[in-house]
Structure 1
Amino acid sequence: MLIIVNSSAEVMKKLSITFAKEVDVCQKELNVGDNIMQEMQNFWREEYDLVHRDTGCMILCMASKHNLLVIADEKIHHQNAHEFAKAHGADDEMATQLVNILHDCEKQYPPQDDVCLRSLAVAKCFRTKIHSLKWAPSMEELLAEIMTEM
């Protein structure tokens, strides 16, 4: 029996590519400019500072398109997020760890009036934790794969 094990960075690349498939739809819906698209393209670059509120809005929009949010409180839908991760190569343990990281980041940033700013803060927290685990996908590979799928 052949068992294929994906590296964590490879899984994160697959997750990112699928997640980003909604970027054009959300860009049109939210009418965001090139500066936000630049932030989205550079999301995994550790040295790149995510600063725009609208980036948080884009992340919320894309998450909602993938049914990853509990809309009532703008929090991650744990079961759907777990299934999303597993559908893109994560094993049960990694999927659980990803959901736990997101949940921990959400707890650090309690709900506030501006859901986009909170989403941006949670996303930055998530990115930092993924980098600390050395799971962040290579931006060069990620962009090359996204370009070939267009």
Structure 2
Amino acid sequence: MKSVLVATVVLSVVGLAMGTAEVMSHVTAHFGKALSECREESGLTPEVLEEFQHFWREDFEVVHRELGCAIICMSNKFSLLQEDSRIHHVNMHDYVKGFPNGQVLSAKMVELIHNCEQQYDDITDDCARVVKVAACFKRDAKKEGIAPEVTMIEAVMEKY
């Protein structure tokens, strides 16, 4: 009986992680649609733009200041940041909840981003700070098991 209970709990946790990774794939695909609009504004080179489309791949390093500028631009398209280029908690919750099963991810996503922002709060250059926050978020999302596989994102791209 105990082993059945343990197995049920483990399967529930694995199912939740897969569910949140799937939601994250929708969020990423939709959010990424604003990238081309923000390329010129943020100064992204075509090479970095191409790489950025693979944000969740293991070998993609989130280090270029221009990525931070692009993320700010993209976030502003969806009203996800406050005027100080920090997360707007309510708008981010609402944005993530707008995707299928988004409610299972919204609180965790806001928590991870907020925690990362606190770590780099002393960086005054918005683009430099946001790229550090994005790298932190990517690392923490992977640790939490909510980072999507690139194939998951590609599977939902046509919806957005």
| Same fold at TM > 0.5 | yes
Report the alpha carbon displacement of residue 33 of structure 1 after superposing the two structures with TM.
Answer: 1.1
Give the TM-score taking structure 1 as reference length.
0.86
Higher helix share: 2
Partners in 2 of 1:143 and 1:130 — Cα distance? 19
Report the alpha carbon displacement of residue 134 of structure 1 after superposing the two structures with TM.
Answer: 1.4
1:25 corresponds to 2:33: no
Partners in 2 of 1:102 and 1:94 — Cα distance? 12
Equivalence for 1:90: 102
Structure 1 residue runs of 5 or longer lacking an equivalent are none
Moved more, 82-91 or 26-35: 26-35
Q: Percent identity?
A: 34
Partners in 1 of 2:67 and 2:154 — Cα distance? 18
Partners in 2 of 1:98 and 1:21 — Cα distance? 19
Equivalence for 2:121: 110
1:78 corresponds to 2:89: yes
Structure 2 residue runs of 5 or longer lacking an equivalent are 1-15
The CA RMSD measured in Å over matched residues stands at: 1.9
Between the two proteins, the alignment pairs up a number of residues equal to: 143
Partners in 1 of 2:40 and 2:59 — Cα distance? 28
Partners in 2 of 1:101 and 1:19 — Cα distance? 17
Amino acid at match of 2:56: W
